[in-house]
């Protein structure tokens, strides 16, 4: 068998500036044919070679399902993805879900789509893009999350921006409600 050619992209999540202090990940695209010939062990070796906290293997080949929903709107396009750290496959992680969603809205989902579904080992994740702000929203599957203890679990916009000034890059945090609960959607990742 000939060597596999696997196109990939390096994404930098949670920033609007190239080569900045965002959170990088590698996204490897798998066609129907390449997915048949790559093993989980090979995916693990590729993730280790990239040496990022996580690597996504996006299955680019799932068919578009345009049959109408009950309300007459088109169904959201689904794409499956596998997530690997440098040492193990994991069912879910947050920053790469957002990065993968942004990639899909720009390169995979139909032009103008505002909704899609990413299929992870933790379950289906509905993702949406706000056309005005270009921000991505993800409906995270309920599992293994925690409420942060600082501020009694609730913080003000100013407190959050003090702890995470990089959020100022995405609209200065005006979109944040006051006194909201802060959760981590995956323990340790």
Q: Which residues are catalytic?
A: 54
Q: CA dihedral defined by 83, 84, 88, 90, rounded to 10 degrees?
A: -20
What is the rounded distance in angstroms from the CA atom of residue 140 to the CA atom of residue 93?
Answer: 10
- Cβ proximity of 129 and 135 under 8 Å: yes
- Cβ proximity of 63 and 31 under 8 Å: no
Beta carbons within 10 angstroms of residue 55's beta carbon: 26
- Cβ proximity of 125 and 138 under 8 Å: yes
């Amino acid at each position: 068998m000939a060597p596999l050619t696997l196109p990939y992209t390096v994404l930098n999540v949670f920033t609007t500036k190239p080569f900045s202090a965002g959170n990088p990940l590698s996204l490897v695209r798998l066609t129907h044919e390449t997915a048949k010939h790559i093993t989980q062990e090979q995916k693990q070796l590729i993730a280790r070679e990239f040496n990022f906290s996580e690597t996504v293997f996006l299955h680019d080949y799932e068919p578009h399902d345009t049959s109408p929903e009950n309300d007459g709107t088109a169904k959201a396009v689904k794409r499956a993805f596998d997530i690997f750290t440098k040492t193990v496959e994991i069912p879910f992680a947050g920053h790469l879900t957002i990065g993968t969603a942004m990639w899909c809205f720009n390169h995979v989902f139909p032009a103008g789509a505002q909704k899609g579904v990413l299929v992870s080992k933790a379950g289906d994740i509905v993702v949406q893009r706000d056309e005005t702000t270009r921000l991505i929203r993800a409906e995270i599957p309920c599992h293994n999350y925690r409420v942060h203890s600082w501020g009694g679990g609730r913080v003000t916009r100013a407190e959050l921006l003090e702890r995470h000034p990089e959020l100022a890059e995405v609209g200065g945090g005006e979109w944040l409600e006051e006194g909201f609960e802060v959760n981590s959607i995956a323990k340790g990742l």
